[in-house]
Structure 1
Amino acid sequence: RSLAYLFASSASFTTTEVRYLPAREPAAPWQVLLAREKDHEYHVDHGGALFYIRTNGGGRRNFRLVAATVDDPRPARWTELIPHREDVMLEDAEVFAEHYVVHARQDGLIGLRVTQLRDGASHRIQFPEPAYDVASEANAEFRTSTYRFRYQSLVTPPSVFDYDVVTHERTLLKRTEVLGGYDPSRYRTERVHATAPDGTRVPLSLVCRADTPRDGSSPLLLTGYGAYGLPYPVLFSSTRLSLLDRGVTMAIAHVRGGGELGKRWHDEGRMLKKLNTFTDFIACAEFLVKNGYTADDRLVIEGGSAGGLLVGAVLNMRPALFEAAVLRVPFVDVINTMLDESLPLTVGEFEEWGNPKIREHYEYMKAYCPYTNIRAQPYPAILVKTSLNDSQVMYWEPAKYVAKLRALKTDDHPLLFKINLDAGHGGASGRYDHLREIALDYAFILTQLGHAG
């Protein structure tokens, strides 16, 4: 943004190495800011005579912000600007000529804090709803007092604001139009917490019609992901209104393995702690039933890719807890996929799932792998979807999963398998084809909920 330096970064899931070059000296040799080291990720921005470095070295997993002079950026010369905090994930830092903006996630929610460089004064940008998502826009200008961001929630459509970092005034520039006379006051959103078996508080984000009762009579669609340290975003969806207007509550389980509560939240749901992802999700489902948001004969679950792994695992563990399930391009054959190093993602993801050629990793994967753990028991109604050209989760994974499930399950509930012969991992790419895919999912969900009364 300052146009003074070029940065070249190479990274894995757990390490980073950054090289830098003065923009005015394009023929100069690239310099390594900090050599790659195990379990150290860092990100660099520039302003004035300083590099601003967001780093999680030294076991400070949730990152801290330090400054280093461009002439001598060695760690011994770093000055700490924002310390590491166990309960706050420092996700980003954007540097401008006279201020910087940090993105910090606490209890799963992103906050924006502005700090003035001249005196260190800082303030937080406030947001009105209990569950929301906020992200920066391009903000390409270095010398500016305006910061542009995009705000949305399960109720509020995507809204672009300009924020004056000096006067603290915000100006709405654009809000995505929702056709059909959409009125956000007809809906309500909540942020609640379930308790996992080990006592961990797991956040849930919910949206429903404002008049939805809390007596267990309402159907509910619960989704989750819990992998790669990625927070499940709390985003607006106009297509979701089709379910909400039919009385269906939508809930997101922010389970371990994601990034909602920082790096340690990810650590507690990957490798040899992956089972926490599944027990968190089950705890969320039980919380929703116990507290009257729904009942087990009105509870549908869904997930895609690694979220499909989540759904497949909990179906084996607690099939009677759910009325129906939707699995999209699901990663359900964990052991065989992670044994095949010819697949494009396998080796790079040893840091997420483990390497089954290591006995300890193999035995742990075997305990939760959805395909491996299918057994002779009743399962709820299930829709499994995949794509022939998926390069991330090969189509034969869900195909063999469905075949084994059909052979072993002891119920007569529907088990549907749909394969898109033209699409990849993200499903149909055309706008209307994508909407048709969503319509199929919703038709299946509503049909099963109709069977539940």
Structure 2
Amino acid sequence: MTDSPSGTPTSTAAAPATAPAATPPDAKRVPAPRTHHGDTVIDDYEWLRAKEDPEVVAYLEAENAFTQSELAHLEGLRVRIFDEIKSRVQETDLSVPTREGSWWYYSRTEEGKQYATSCRAPIDGPDDWTPPRIEPGVPVDGEQIVLDANVEAEGHDFFSLGSFDVSADGGLLAYAVDTVGDERYTLRFRDLATGEDRPETVPNTSPGATLSPDGRYVFYTTVDDAWRPDTVWRYELGTSAESAVKVFTEPDERYWVGFGLTRSRKYFEIELGSKITSEVLLLDASDPTGEFEVVWPRREGVEYEVSHTVVDGEDRLYVLHNDGAEGFEVVSVAVADPRGERDVVIPHREGTRLEGVSTFRDHTAVSFRRDGLARVAMLGPDGLDEIDFDEPLFTAGVGSNPEWEQPTLRLTFGSLVTPASVFDYVVADDMLRLLKRQPVLGGYDPTDYEQRRVWATASDGARIPISLVARREQFDRPSSARPAPLLLYGYGSYEISIDPSFSAARLSLLDRGVTFAIAHVRGGGELGRAWYDNGKMLTKRNTFTDFIAAAEHLIESGYTEPSRLVAEGGSAGGLLMGAVANLAPATFAGILANVPFVDPLTSILDPELPLTVIEWDEWGNPLADPEVYAYMKSYSPYENVTEQAYPKILAVTSINDTRVLYVEPAKWTARLRDVGAPVLLKTEMSAGHGGVSGRYSAWKERAFELAWILDVLNETD
């Protein structure tokens, strides 16, 4: 027995977590009617939303106990996989130093420690643009510890660093920490001359605090009751937190508010964005208490971002926008008159999606996407000069480049076979200089593996790219051999691209003969804005049918077979997992859903829930539009669980997640169990949307998931 909030004894939903879990928990049914547009739905499991109710906690713990019991036979495999991951990682390591001001900044990881230590070392002189070679275990002259996250995390089950900004003179650090997982951070300030924290603290901030160039003020954002960053504050150091001045508030619940400083450190930026519209306000950073001015007034459906540059001594803005340009274009406008004449710098190009502009004093880099791959080019007098990387699949991007006057461009690069790499591109010499390739211990040889791109055809004729990687012998197998086990990953929302990148943990699958594949389905951004538009709102079903088409293509092409195919996705990709489980259960042997968005209709119908209103531009507004309501109901995983044979399903969630509430997978798995589905639920009881914190904890969590995948594929040792 346990006490309900009213004090009345009630029976618990399941046995205590400490009791042996021989049978799955049986969630009680409490019919809760919901009526919209003349349609009434009875929801038996909405009661699980009461996070503070001891009965709900007991149920989640009972589910954890059942999952632990069901997967106890995998403990040895989990330990082996964790040891494999750990053995491949150079645990004591350093990042490539980045110059900012008079210092080189870098981070250290040490064997046995969960978190990184942020450090810095002095530059040799103003012309020193070559980062020092720093070796693990070798002392660095003049090294100073800026922040040791291991120290800050002591005594906490969860730790996340949300802000990290050093003043222009290098004397002050503004940093913010979350020790719960709810993404509300406490902002603190450290005197880097003494290493001691100042007495000021500011609670309940969002990530991304920014110090003014003079170090006198800090700008930060806070969230509203729906967890939406909506307000910018200016706080003067040395005063009480209550004296912070509200600089800007965005009342429209569709818009998120961000704050930053241009690379030139000449202008503060307030950035406002819904899913389809944006607006930027600027303020001269030499006048931090001044008034912000709008660059371009918002227009529904027009997105833009700005970068400060100087042309012939005049302050100008490069504006990346989609006003009449589906793939975006870049124009130049005067800071003094941003709504005046526009000079086209980079025109819209068919088949190319411009994604970002990085301006420096003497050069400009452009991030863009073509043929489904992320690329980088330099802006030259004749247009874009792409920086070439000699691999068929890869992802290249602009890295950390805080200095306005630097003569180099820091780049990141990786692929399904090439570990994460850091380059400096020397602009004057048109030369790439490899600074570091992440070590993979244990004799990893990229030539033992092969990556390739194949294309599936959707029911409407769209061609769906699929990226694959496997040990080379897997692809060289004779056609008569049994198809290989395969893990197919998907996401497909928010124009987010799942690019081909390296994973040391993934080697535990590949080296056991498993092929890994990514289905680049519509709703993502891999093939441009139209690819995204055709996988959202009233075309969302394309995301699900694309994934099924990709799976069927891999089966028909002999890469795998249904009994050897597992699907994986997280967050909005978890919605994808829930949808394909209902639509094509016989296609998959197992489905892994991480923090899955599987009860979207309930969530999007409630504007009081975190982040709901801003999501209407992605999914539609079922509260106001009966067509959207009916469409979302037609694909919602929770709404469409039926009496059919489901594959094995593992759902993983976190109780403090503010983006996809734990209640969604809890309700979904309860309903799946009603129809006899072989489903397991694992809830982290002290984490948020990103799961557990700390690298060792993250490796253990991934080992848990990989062991389950291998078990489903019958590939355990």
Which letter maps to 1:262?
A: G
Work out whether residues 423 and 436 of structure 2, in 8 Å CA contact, stay in contact via their aligned partners in 1. Answer: yes
TM-score, normalization by structure 2: 0.60
Work out whether residues 707 and 716 of structure 2, in 8 Å CA contact, stay in contact via their aligned partners in 1. Answer: no
Q: Which residue of 2 aligns with 1:82?
A: 346
Bigger radius of gyration among the two: 2
Q: Secondary structure at the match of 2:466?
A: strand
Work out whether residues 494 and 532 of structure 2, in 8 Å CA contact, stay in contact via their aligned partners in 1. Answer: yes
Shift of 1:384: 1.4
Shift of 1:28: 4.6
Q: Which residue of 2 aligns with 1:232?
A: 498
Which letter maps to 2:622?
A: P
Q: Hey, what's the Cα distance between the residues in 1 that align with 2:569 and 2:694?
A: 21
Q: Which residue of 1 aligns with 2:360?
A: 96
Q: Which residue of 2 aligns with 1:262?
A: 528
Q: Which residue of 2 aligns with 1:309?
A: 575
In the alignment, does 2:640 pair up with 1:376? no
Q: Which residue of 2 aligns with 1:14?
A: 276
Q: Which residue of 2 aligns with 1:400?
A: 667
TM-score, normalization by structure 1: 0.95
Q: Which residue of 2 aligns with 1:3?
A: 265
Which letter maps to 2:279?
A: E
In the alignment, does 2:402 pair up with 1:140? yes
Q: Hey, what's the Cα distance between the residues in 2 that align with 1:196 and 1:351?
A: 25
Work out whether residues 297 and 452 of structure 1, in 8 Å CA contact, stay in contact via their aligned partners in 2. Answer: no
Work out whether residues 148 and 162 of structure 1, in 8 Å CA contact, stay in contact via their aligned partners in 2. Answer: yes
Work out whether residues 107 and 203 of structure 1, in 8 Å CA contact, stay in contact via their aligned partners in 2. Answer: no
Q: Which residue of 1 aligns with 2:709?
A: 445
Match of 1:53 among 299, 312, 319: 319
Instruction: Figure out how many residues of one structure are paired with residues of the other and give that number.
Output: 446
Work out whether residues 567 and 577 of structure 2, in 8 Å CA contact, stay in contact via their aligned partners in 1. Answer: yes
Match of 1:241 among 507, 511, 531: 507
Shift of 1:26: 4.3
Q: Hey, what's the Cα distance between the residues in 1 that align with 2:386 and 2:655?
A: 47
Match of 1:217 among 454, 476, 483: 483
Q: Hey, what's the Cα distance between the residues in 2 that align with 1:68 and 1:57?
A: 15
- 5+ residue gaps in structure 1? none
- 5+ residue gaps in structure 2? 1-262
Q: Hey, what's the Cα distance between the residues in 2 that align with 1:258 and 1:424?
A: 24
Q: Which residue of 2 aligns with 1:386?
A: 653
Mean alpha-carbon deviation: is it higher for 7-16 or for 135-144? 135-144
Q: Hey, what's the Cα distance between the residues in 2 that align with 1:361 and 1:68?
A: 39
Q: Hey, what's the Cα distance between the residues in 1 that align with 2:332 and 2:617?
A: 30
Q: Which residue of 2 aligns with 1:66?
A: 331
Mean alpha-carbon deviation: is it higher for 81-90 or for 356-365? 81-90
Q: Which residue of 1 aligns with 2:590?
A: 324
Could you list the per-position Cα deviations for residues 298-320 of structure 1 after superposition, in whole angstroms to 9, with x for gaps in the alignment? 11101111111101101111111
Q: Hey, what's the Cα distance between the residues in 1 that align with 2:648 and 2:408?
A: 51
Task: For 1:326-345, list aligned pairs within 5 A.
Answer: 326-345=592-611
Match of 1:163 among 411, 425, 437: 425
Distance 1:165 1:320, change over 3 A: same
Q: Hey, what's the Cα distance between the residues in 2 that align with 1:9 and 1:329?
A: 28
Which letter maps to 2:391?
A: E
Work out whether residues 512 and 715 of structure 2, in 8 Å CA contact, stay in contact via their aligned partners in 1. Answer: no
Shift of 1:25: 4.4
Q: Hey, what's the Cα distance between the residues in 2 that align with 1:6 and 1:417?
A: 45
Could you list the per-position Cα deviations for residues 389-439 of structure 1 after superposition, in whole angstroms to 9, with x for gaps in the alignment? 121122221111111111114x6xx32221221222111112222112111
In the alignment, does 2:625 pair up with 1:363? no
Identity among equivalent pairs (%): 49
Q: Secondary structure at the match of 1:211?
A: helix
Q: Which residue of 1 aligns with 2:233?
A: none
Shift of 1:451: 7.8
Work out whether residues 332 and 345 of structure 2, in 8 Å CA contact, stay in contact via their aligned partners in 1. Answer: yes
Shift of 1:144: 3.3
Which letter maps to 2:357?
A: A
Which letter maps to 2:679?
A: L
Q: Hey, what's the Cα distance between the residues in 2 that align with 1:248 and 1:7?
A: 47
Distance 1:387 1:122, change over 3 A: closer
Shift of 1:383: 1.1
Shift of 1:233: 2.8
Match of 2:542 among 263, 269, 276: 276
Mean alpha-carbon deviation: is it higher for 384-393 or for 326-335? 384-393
Q: Which residue of 1 aligns with 2:33?
A: none
